[in-house]
Amino acid sequence: METEATGKDPGRATPRSAGLRRWWAALLAVCLVAVAAYVLVMKLGEAQSRAARAAAPPPRGVPVVAVPARQGDVPVYLNGLGSVTPLNTVTVKSRVDGELTKVLFREGQLVKSGELLAQIDPRPFEVQLTQAEGQMVRDQALLKNARLDVERYRGLWAQDSIPKQLLDTQESLARQYEGVVKLDQGQIDMAKLQLTYCRITSPINGRVGLRLVDPGNIVRATDTNGLVMITQLQPITVIFTIAEDSLPRLLDKLKASDRLPVEAYDREQKRRLATGTLLTVDNQIDPSTGTVRLKAQFPNTDTQLFPNQFVNARLLLDTERGATVVPAAAIQRGTQGTFVYVVKADQTAGVRPVRIGVSEGDDVSVVAGLAPGEAVVVDGADKLREGSRVEPQGRR
């Protein structure tokens, strides 16, 4: 038989096949150990990560500055650019021709109405007065004699000693002398008036400008420059403009007979120069600028306002009572309109749409969307989003 011939048992494995089985079994065991070790390491890592997260402090919030919204009164102002305009400006001129002998004012001096400023040489007009008075005396004597002759002629005519024509001629001569005497009186009054004009006085209260003519010069009534210019400073006015859209509300306030206060500030709007009241509104709107002119009057007791000075005028139109007020820095603007970041109780920021009203300085009134006492972010809002954790800090 073949089996016998070969001498091998088919049911028994050869040494080589047995070695292969042992190698695969060892490899499988190693793989199982590796998988078990990997699973154990992963579980230990997850446990350590959870423990680390549980032990780690929560993430810090965004540092911001927040202030509570407050309730208060907000004034409503109309702002405009203006210039100081004096009520009266006078160029002092001589009304007679002559030599300027005296200048009695200092440049920049404050003068009163009627105060003597300068004097013209009066001697030529004194001579004219003497001549007129002499002519007056002569003509009065002639008039007196003519009147005596009239009385004589009337007696002779009553006696029918002279014709009526001679009496009429004498009466006419007397009336002529009466006219001459009146003319002489006019010459005397004119000479006295010229003497008065030799004393140049201030027509108004005000501030004297720079002297335009020095003593010793011949001045004439036809000179265009004059001697000096006087400008009234107390009171003084400011003419400024506002937008025509604000005119209806202003007219409503004026109809209620309210005296609206006006404040004048310097060019940088940092220093208040004076406080006055509104006088009047112009009667037309400038179509090229869409503005209307207003005039306000100021006492100017401290002379802070100067003619032709540029000022920023603020007209107090109304006052919003009990408004919700926040700093202007809290107002943010986006595609959806104006909003603020409100700091919630859980120290997170929330976006709150608001409708703003008027602004005054660094404050803005909120008409809707916010209540007094709610904290709003005024610094650091550029790093916030809805739900961002915040860490409020004090103002810097």
- Alpha carbon of 88 to those of 207, 254, 264: distances in Å? 11, 26, 20
Q: Other C-beta atoms within 10 Å of 326: how many?
A: 24
Express the helix, strand and coil content of the chain in percent, nearest 5 each: 35, 35, 30
Q: What confidence score (pLDDT) does residue 279 get?
A: 93
pLDDT of 6 above 80: no
More confident residue, 344 or 98: 98
Please state which CATH class domain 64-74+322-393 belongs to.
Answer: mainly beta
What mean pLDDT comes out for the span 224-228?
92
**Angle of helix 123-158 relative to helix 164-197, nearest 10 degrees?**
160
Write out pLDDT tens, residues 197-206: 999 999 999 9
Amino acid residing at 182: K
The DSSP secondary-structure symbol of 249 reads H
Q: Does 244 score more than 80 pLDDT?
A: yes
Residue 30 or 241, more confident? 241
> Which pLDDT band, with edges at 50, 70 and 90, does 53 fall under?
low
Q: How many percent of the chain have pLDDT more than 70?
A: 88
Q: How confident is the model at residue 329, as a pLDDT?
A: 87
The mean pLDDT value of the chain amounts to: 86
Q: Which of the 8 DSSP states describes residue 215?
A: T
Q: How confident is the model at residue 58 (pLDDT cuts 50, 70, 90)?
A: low
Full-model pTM = 0.67
Task: Give the pLDDT band (50/70/90) at residue 196.
Answer: very high
| Positive or negative torsion for Cα 5, 9, 15, 19 | positive
pLDDT, one tens digit per residue, over 168-181 is 898 899 999 999 99
Mean pLDDT score, 116-139: 95
Lowest mean pLDDT among 85-94, 292-301, 303-312, 380-389: 380-389
**pLDDT computed for residue 87 by the predictor:** 93
Question: What token pair was written down for 153?
Answer: 């002629």
Q: Where are the domains of the chain?
A: 64-74+322-393, 77-87+231-320, 93-229
Least confident segment among 55-69, 279-293, 357-371: 55-69
- At the second CATH level, the architecture of 77-87+231-320 is Beta Barrel (2.40)
Once rounded to an integer, what is the mean pLDDT over residues 305-328? Answer: 90
Q: Is the pLDDT of residue 14 over 70?
A: no
Per-residue pLDDT, averaged over 391-395, amounts to: 72
CATH class of this structure's domain 93-229? mainly beta
pLDDT at 352: 87
Dihedral, 216, 222, 224, 227 alpha carbons, nearest 10: 30
